[in-house]
A and B are shown apart, each in its own frame.
Chain A
Amino acid sequence: MSLFRNIVLAAVIAGLVSGLLLTVMQSYATVPLIIHAETFEGGGAEIHDHGHGAAHSHDAAAADHHHDPEAWAPANGFERFFYTAAANMLAGIGFALVLLTAAEALGGLSGWRKGMMFGFAGFLAFSLAPGLGLPPELPGMPAADLGARQIWWIATAACTAVALGLLAYTRSPLLAVLAVVLLIAPHLIGAPHPESHETAVPADLHARFVAAVFATSLVFWSALGAVAALVRDRFRQGEEAFSVSTGGVVSR
């Protein structure tokens, strides 16, 4: 049970630290762009209002994107920042759990450098690879069906993660070929895209947003991996000291 507890504790610490760092970076780099893009959301709705009688596909798509205005949403300012920070830290904890589990299954993390390498792998699998097919979206941008995009996102992240694991931890040429196929296949199949990419959101705003998302995510994942490894090392020293002091056999 101590393995479970130690991984969870290490993930919580790594997630809180890197999630907080991410929130600070986002509040300068990405959130202002999101808030700017939201000013174009209303403009999109006006265009769609013209098509009352003629139920063209745009209206159906637009209806999906509009959220219930009655639903609770955090107020702009501190409340919004607070919930973003909470979501980032939770995401960090979840990602750290996945990262630490993978690292432990592959022989364990030792040292922050290896942790950072795992962090880079996490960035490739959970940020860059899905982001190549589905570039980070700003509010007010048209997109394909949410369910289809979520499935493609998850499948791409999973394929990329497995591929990186195979490349790094196996030596068989056959598995290397499989890894390359897994890396490429999601992009050959292609992410779901809307019929039209027409949007009121300026292209340069979106370009800046995509760059900011990848830059902040890279720092977030490196910090996540490095901190997770440092904390995990600490806890392992505790585990081993405990095993030795009780005369138990250290299982490695």
Chain B
Amino acid sequence: MMTKSAATAAGLSLSKIIPLSMTAMLGLFVVGFVGFSQMEVLHNAAHDSRHSLAFPCH
């Protein structure tokens, strides 16, 4: 009971950990894909977006 209330106080219950780590990884993957992928075609497609979002480009 104590541990459960401590966990919910932190906002993290066990049932949330798996979906939240999945959404975090998905989000980081998407950001990495758009902002950091070094594939030439992707770089050219996302070029203006990368420059305008202050990602390191070129």
Q: Which residues of A contact B (CB under 8 A)?
A: 1, 3-4, 7-8, 11, 22, 26, 30-31, 34, 65, 67-68, 71-74, 80, 83-84, 86-88, 90-91, 93-98, 100-102, 104-108, 127, 130-131, 134-139, 143, 146, 149-150, 153-154, 212-214, 216-217, 251-252
**Bound state CA distance, A4 and B31, in angstroms?**
18
Residues of chain B within 8 A of A96, CB atoms compared? 27
Given contacts A98-B24, A134-B56, is CB(A83)–CB(B45) below 8 Å?
A: yes
**Bound state CA distance, A97 and B27, in angstroms?**
5
Residues of chain A within 8 A of B29, CB atoms compared? 94
Residues of chain A within 8 A of B46, CB atoms compared? 83-84, 87
Check if B44 sits within 8 Å of A1, measured CB to CB. no
**Bound state CA distance, A212 and B51, in angstroms?**
11
Check if B22 sits within 8 Å of A4, measured CB to CB. yes
Q: Which residue of A lies closest to B52 (CB)?
A: A30
Q: Quick one: which of A22, A71, A131 contacts B54, CB cutoff 8 A?
A: A131
Check if B11 sits within 8 Å of A106, measured CB to CB. yes
Q: A25 CB to closest chain B CB, in angstroms?
A: 9
Q: 7 smallest A-B Cβ distances: which pairs?
A: A97-B27, A94-B30, A107-B11, A87-B49, A94-B31, A87-B46, A73-B44
**Bound state CA distance, A139 and B50, in angstroms?**
11
Interface residues on B, range: 35 or more
Given contacts A30-B51, A71-B44, A91-B49, is CB(A98)–CB(B20) below 8 Å?
A: no
Check if A143 sits within 8 Å of B58, measured CB to CB. yes
Q: Quick one: which of A74, A90, A107 contacts B33, CB cutoff 8 A?
A: A90
